[in-house]
């Protein structure tokens, strides 16, 4: 099932000109990632406190197609793709009210053992969650 979340852009998300700051938009995308995990039933506290694994972001990119201003209402859609047994990527379509694509973002995540920092296989729960976001097309 595709996952999407609506969000208004606040002044705190923008630079001094009132245009969304790139790092703020990546943070909003990360919020959608977290909300999708929680909706799937993954306990975020337990997920973050696991001593046996961590899933850091190892790559992030974002493209802007038009400015996004304070007060704009956005719909952020999430789609995912498993890359290897230890990695996946998430794609975000950031759309303004009315369905116009304003930005696209991508994050790559790698499952590691926190002690050794070596790659390990994604847990079954994350594999099952990924299957739910694989069906999304990442469009407005």
Q: Enumerate the active-site residues.
A: 15
Residue 53: φ, ψ to 5°: -155, 160
User: DSSP letter at 62?
Assistant: E
* 87-96 vs 73-82, strand pairing mode: antiparallel
Give yes or no for a contact between 94 and 68, defined as CB atoms under 8 angstroms apart: yes
């Amino acid at each position: 099932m595709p996952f999407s979340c609506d969000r208004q852009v606040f002044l705190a998300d923008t630079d001094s000109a009132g245009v969304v700051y790139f790092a703020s938009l990546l943070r909003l995308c990360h919020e959608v990632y977290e909300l999708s995990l929680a909706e799937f039933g993954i306990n975020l506290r337990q997920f973050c406190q696991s001593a046996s694994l961590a899933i850091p972001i190892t790559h992030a990119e974002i493209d802007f197609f038009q400015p996004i201003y304070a007060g704009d209402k956005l719909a952020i859609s999430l789609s995912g793709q498993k890359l290897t047994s230890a990695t996946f990527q998430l794609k975000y379509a950031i759309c303004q009210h009315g369905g116009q694509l304003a930005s696209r973002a991508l994050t790559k995540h790698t499952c590691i053992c926190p002690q050794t920092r070596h790659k390990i296989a994604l847990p079954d729960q994350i594999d099952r969650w990924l299957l739910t976001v694989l069906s999304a097309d990442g469009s407005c």
